[in-house]
Chains A and B, each alone.
Chain A
Amino acid sequence: MTTPSTPRRRYTKVDPIPWWLKAFGGLVVVFFILPTLFVIPMSFSDATTFQFPPQGFTWRLYENFFTNPIWLDSLGNSFLVATLTAVLATTVGTAAAVALSRLQGRVAQLVRTLLMVPIVAPAIVVAVAVYIAFLGWQLTGTVLGYVLAHTAIAVPYVLISVTGALGGFDPKLLRAAASLGSSPARAFVRVTMPLISRGILTGAIFAFIVSFDEVVLALFLRSPLFQTMPVQMYNSVTVEIDPTISAASSLMVVAVTIIFLLPQLLRGRVRRR
């Protein structure tokens, strides 16, 4: 009558993945990845324009990127702003996530929604408003101005990742700590923090990337004395026609790819152990 393998075989027959869907998926993968990869061959080009296909082979653009003070300063500025933003946004966002995880009701829900507004508000509108306000407060072109503006848009990402980590956190642990004589602050540092540390770290990384990559606010807040790397990249396309941007782009593409693949590779190793 029937063999034990029949149900499985029938299942795959009834509900297979159509070949055209797989083929389409493959095309979408190409559409996702291929365009960005064009920057890599361009970064070794000998030409002084953006002409494609690239000509010759040279490390000149990378050399320029790491020696030209305009590029080097903007890279340093971006690291400075992104690091400060990550620290501030992670602190502020973690505090808010911890508070919201303990609170219920309409007011807490409203606060949660309000804190998400920076993700959905159009960047250009925020940038225009912040620019006009910062002109009055003399914050344009300052590190403080950049950090405050970037922190405001980075906090939601920290909030989301820490809230996610707190989802698996048992509040009874805090009562246990309190019953053993721990103060709330000590209980947070010794009990809560270690358990949600991965959420906090994820949030910090995302806050860093959000700031490092942010270009619209940065375009408005720039000054001749202080600009970040995305702004310099923008200038190199619109004003200067400086092919060094292809080296900068390639470095950023490779960096993000490594950041994303690293946890996967590391975790694979831990699991194998």
Chain B
Amino acid sequence: MSSNKIKWSSWPLLVPALALLAGILLVPLADTFIRSVSAPGTYTNLLTDGVTMTVLWRTVVTAATVTVAALLIGYPYAYLMTRVSPRARGILLVIVLIPFWTSVMARNFAWIIILQDGGPVQSLFAFFGAEDVVLYGSTAGVTIAMTQVMLPFMVLPLFSTLGGIDRRLLLAARGLGSSPTAAFWKVFWPLSRGGVMAGVILVFTLSLGFYVTPALLGSPQESLVAQLLAQRTTLLLDFAAAGALGMVVLVVTLVLVAWANRMGGTVSAIGVVAASPPKDR
């Protein structure tokens, strides 16, 4: 069997996957796009209807807050993962992966219990004297819950990058008279930027289009773009307007992901870490 023959016999194997992708994803998306541009004024309405821009801005702020919080929490954790013994690393990794694969509904329901009126978080605040802290139905509550749900998407790409950094470089910097802090910021941090970029883009884009947490923990008065999209589709049946809004979200997401991908393989990084069993690394 010549290698050419292997090549030509391989293309048909791709047909089912591509057909499925085209039929279920690309054709509906293209159809949505055509629908949105053939109705007059759908895109200018997004700018002028007074609701969409407010919601989009709120979504961007929320997604950015979630991303920064996830980075501040996830970076030290991923760093710690690269430092501990292999056995402890396995445990820390499973702790990331179990919530990653645990039912989204179960996790959001847990946050409803925690943040609800009279729930444990409110009692905790009341114990410290802050009587009327209501997080359920607020953007703050959505942000807290979303940070926890998104955290694995930050930790996994960070871990795969930080694990590949040669720590002897840090020791070399120390040996040359650098303080631990300076060695970290001048040597380790620059080398970890690829992973930071991957995690930041991933969490930000996923947060932009996230539906379940805002729908369950937020309120219609402070809705995020995914809720608006769902509402325009299923309640108002305004497919053209919903399509236009969806296209904006999709294009922003894909542009950010493509950009991050050029900087260092986000999509594959997250996939590889998430889909391979923990003991393999």
Contacts and interface: CB of A to CB of B under 8 A. Distances in A.
A121 interface: yes
Interface stretch (A1-9, A59-67, A150-158): A150-158
Contacts of B243: 128-129, 132
B213 to A, nearest CB: 11
Interface residues of A, number: 100
For B97, B105, B277, the residue with the greatest tally of chain A CB atoms inside 10 Å of its CB is B105
B86 interface: no
B80 A260 contact: no
Interface in A187-245: 202-203, 206, 209, 213, 215-216, 219-220, 230, 233-234, 237-238, 245
Given A31-B148, A230-B103, A256 B98 contact: yes
B105 A233 contact: yes
A102 B279 CA distance: 27
Interface in A128-147: 128-134
A88 to B, nearest CB: 8
Interface stretch (B38-46, B49-57, B125-133, B247-255): B247-255
B83 A95 contact: no
B148 A202 contact: no
Contacts of A213: 101, 103-105
Nearest to A33: B95
Contact of B104 (A22, A132, A215): A215
Interface string A29-64: 101110111110010000000111100000000000
Given A21-B76, A233-B109, 15 more contacts: A32-B96, A35-B107, A35-B114, A39-B109, A96-B18, A98-B13, A121-B25, A122-B253, A123-B209, A152-B24, A160-B271, A175-B1, A202-B276, A253-B106, A256-B103
Interface of A: 14-15, 17, 21-22, 24-25, 28-29, 31-33, 35-39, 42, 50-53, 91-93, 95-96, 98-100, 102-103, 111, 113-134, 148-149, 151-152, 155-157, 159-161, 164, 171, 174-175, 178, 184, 202-203, 206, 209, 213, 215-216, 219-220, 230, 233-234, 237-238, 245-246, 248-250, 252-253, 256-257, 259-261, 263-264, 267
A-B residue pairs, 3 tightest by C-beta: A122-B209, A249-B106, A133-B28
Interface of B: 1, 6-7, 9-14, 16-18, 20-21, 23-25, 27-29, 31-32, 35, 73-74, 76-77, 79-80, 83-84, 90, 92, 94-99, 101-107, 109-114, 116, 118-120, 148, 151, 167, 170-171, 174, 202, 205-206, 208-212, 215-216, 226, 229-230, 233-234, 239, 242-243, 246-247, 249-250, 253-254, 257, 261, 266-268, 270-272, 274-279
